[in-house]
């Protein structure tokens, strides 16, 4: 679930670039992937050491006024919803730093799993004659769903995705002078980089001062994370050739086909579900209105670590607009439902503001299983969708009716073959055996 970002200048005069400024803008664009910690690693070419700066909280907290960053033309960064995440440094046998998204199946704890992976990369690079062959061999050996960016003491930036391609990794360029790699294309957009393509499943891409090299190993199984399209990615991003915004519009259209209901107005829960609501409204021919206004800065409350923070966060950030809902029958569109507590609070607030009825439609299937690949899905016994019917969910959250999107509908909306998507959190069936 972290957002990772790396920048790499080429050719003569590359030492004049300032990596820290690019990292600030790139990580700010990826802030929605995690708001609990931000971390950057900047390479000191003269001393051949890495300066790692980490701060709990937001990117703006890391880059606060007055903080001076070491001069560096080469660096990478990470934001995450997990405080124990961060950039990993390996000092021997090959000195490097690594930032990862997802989870390699090397340890039960994600942070330790990535440290083991980083140690394996370091050892492989020393043992092999060619860096790209070393990392390609590593990909063939490690199970799990992950992507990573690493920078070595030799000034190579190594980027790779697992054999299934579960977590995205996109490549961009600023002319011929600067390369960049990010979890989402929105981070490339904000630094003025053109999106040049995706790192493919089971592919290694290595940047060095004069070139970019690529190598892909055979991969028989693709399993792209479906939750990226539902919730994690920004709507202005592309994952591969798929527009996240267009996928979310198709979710809304299919949701209207699968679960029609009567209503006076369609309202989306900001921010993720707004494209769902726009498309549902258009398909159902029911007016769409802005139903909430925000207080304070943008907050991904579903990613907050405690129930108190999630409930208080929703209460703080989303205040219903009375004139949009008073004496109306509402079709409320949300992106997902985990425990049901925050949605219950939202429905209650709408009825307090005068809504006659609230029909809830969710733009994803029921969450029934934990994610072994690093997405923060609570334990099974906390998931309301695991053993509760749609009618019972409606009663629990105070809605007048309730329905999920089907797994078939989600695959259709994303536009990829069902067999190329990981829907383990919705089905309990993972693309590989989980021990």
Phi, psi of 91 (to 5 degrees): -100, -15
Other CB atoms within 10 Å distance of the CB of residue 178: 21
271 and 216 co-located in one domain: no
* Residue 303 confidence (pLDDT): 46
215 and 264 co-located in one domain: no
**Does residue 189 fall inside a structural domain?**
yes
Tell me the three state secondary structure of residue 386. Answer: coil
Q: How far apart are the first and last CA of the chain?
A: 21
Which residues is 205 bridged to in the sheet? Answer: 159, 214
* Residue 295 confidence (pLDDT): 80
The sign of the CA dihedral 176, 181, 185, 189 is negative
**Does residue 31 fall inside a structural domain?**
yes
Tell me the three state secondary structure of residue 232. Answer: helix
Phi, psi of 93 (to 5 degrees): -75, -25
**Does residue 116 fall inside a structural domain?**
yes
* Cα gap 311→35, rounded to integer Å: 16
Give the chain's domain count: 2
213 and 253 co-located in one domain: no
200 and 247 co-located in one domain: no
- In which residue ranges of the chain is pLDDT below 70? 296-317, 435
* Residue 12 confidence (pLDDT): 85
**Does residue 104 fall inside a structural domain?**
yes
CATH number where 367 lies? 3.40.50.2020
Q: What is the pLDDT of residues 211-244, one digit of tens each?
A: 999 999 998 899 999 999 999 999 999 999 999 9
Burial class, 13, CB count within 10 angstroms (exposed 0-12 / middle 13-18 / buried 19+) = exposed
273 and 217 co-located in one domain: no
The sign of the CA dihedral 207, 213, 218, 220 is positive
**Does residue 236 fall inside a structural domain?**
no
* Cα gap 416→413, rounded to integer Å: 8
CA atoms within 13 A on the CB side of 146: 25
pTM value is 0.93
Q: Which domain holds residue 402?
A: 243-427
């Amino acid at each position: 679930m972290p957002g990772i970002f790396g920048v790499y200048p080429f050719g003569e005069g590359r030492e004049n670039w300032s990596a820290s400024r690019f990292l600030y803008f790139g990580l700010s664009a990826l802030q929605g992937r995690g708001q609990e910690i931000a971390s950057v690693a900047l390479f000191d070419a003269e001393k051949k050491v890495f300066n790692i700066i980490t701060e709990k909280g937001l990117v703006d907290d890391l880059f606060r006024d007055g903080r001076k960053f070491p001069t560096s033309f080469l660096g990478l960064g990470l934001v995450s919803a997990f405080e124990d995440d961060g950039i990993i440094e390996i000092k021997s046998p090959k000195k490097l730093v690594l930032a990862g998204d997802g989870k390699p199946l090397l340890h039960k704890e994600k942070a330790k799993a990535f440290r083991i992976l980083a140690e394996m990369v370091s050892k492989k690079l020393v043992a092999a004659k060619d860096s790209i062959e070393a990392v390609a061999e590593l990909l063939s050996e490690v199970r799990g769903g992950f992507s990573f960016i690493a920078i070595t003491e030799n000034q190579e930036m190594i980027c790779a995705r697992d054999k299934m391609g579960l977590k995205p990794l996109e490549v961009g360029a600023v002319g011929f002078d600067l390369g960049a790699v990010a979890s989402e294309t929105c981070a490339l957009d904000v630094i003025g980089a053109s999106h040049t393509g995706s790192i493919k499943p089971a592919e290694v891409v290595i940047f060095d001062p004069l070139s970019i090299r690529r190598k892909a190993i055979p991969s028989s199984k693709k399993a792209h994370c479906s939750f990226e399209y539902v919730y994690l990615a920004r709507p202005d991003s592309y994952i591969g050739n798929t527009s996240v915004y267009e996928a979310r519009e198709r979710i809304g259209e299919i949701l209207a086909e699968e679960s029609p209901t009567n209503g006076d107005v369609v309202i989306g829960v900001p921010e993720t579900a707004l494209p769902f609501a726009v498309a549902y409204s258009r398909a159902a021919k029911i007016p769409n209105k802005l139903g909430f206004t925000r207080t304070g800065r943008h907050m991904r409350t579903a990613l907050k670590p405690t129930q108190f923070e999630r409930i208080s966060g929703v209460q703080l950030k989303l205040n219903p607009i009375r004139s949009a809902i008073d004496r109306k029958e509402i079709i409320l569109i949300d992106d997902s439902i985990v425990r049901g507590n925050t949605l219950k609070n939202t429905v209650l607030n709408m009825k307090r503001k005068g809504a006659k009825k609230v029909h809830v439609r969710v733009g994803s299937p029921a969450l029934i299983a934990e994610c072994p690949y690093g997405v923060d899905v609570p334990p099974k016994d906390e998931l309301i969708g695991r053993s509760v019917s749609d009618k019972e969910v409606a009663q629990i959250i105070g809605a007048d009716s309730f329905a999920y999107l089907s797994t078939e509908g989600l695959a259709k909306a994303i536009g990829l073959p069902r067999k190329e998507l990981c829907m383990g959190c919705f089905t309990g069936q993972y693309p590989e055996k989980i021990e």
